A and B are shown apart, each in its own frame.
Chain A
């Protein structure tokens, strides 16, 4: 089974721009979660989608949004980028059932200049 695929692997953007990151989950997984990882704040939960519906959202501003398509692929969008948005963005998929572990992609490294 193919793992979780995130594209692009690296991204450099300018402050004020917007960016879209993509995640393809493991086949059969209906839940996709997004996490932001920075040296200062560590790993922080952004949001989770299950069957195209956002089930939960972390404590991030509205500039961070996401969606999930009918094939479970997910995209994350960040508008009006700020320098502090520079981070490794990780996507994780799971069957979405209680107590099921997460399977992470290798992330998208976003640098905002």
Chain B
């Protein structure tokens, strides 16, 4: 079953704008991860935030986690055409065991 649910399902913005994607989940988690997938290819890990963290940054990425609301957001600042991809949140203990539970993803299109 899908635990993470991303919102919106699709997002189209102009290059240079910021993109925000949200993820909600149902059960308690140890960590939440965000991945990017370019069309027809494998997923690329972007960032992992532990359940005791509230915010994390990596380059143009900012992730927040609110465990009381069971939600997370991914902000991509100053978007580029190369950011066009699907973005997934995933919950789980990480490291492979027990498997990650992925949402259905947000398809982000950056228009030049």
Contacts and interface: CB of A to CB of B under 8 A. Distances in A.
Q: Using C-beta atoms within 8 Å of the partner chain, give the interface range for chain B.
A: 20 to 34
B45 A101 contact: yes
A55 interface: yes
A97 B31 CA distance: 13
Among A45, A97, A109, find the residue whose CB has the most chain B CB atoms closer than 10 A. Answer: A45
User: Binding site of A, secondary structure by majority: helix, strand, loop or mixed?
Assistant: strand
B48 interface: yes
Which A-B residue pairs are the 3 nearest by beta carbons?
A: A45-B99, A104-B42, A31-B96
Given A43-B90, A92-B96, A109-B40, 9 more contacts: A45-B101, A48-B97, A48-B99, A55-B96, A56-B98, A58-B99, A90-B43, A96-B95, A102-B100
Interface of B: 2, 30-31, 33, 35, 40-45, 48, 50, 88, 90, 93-105
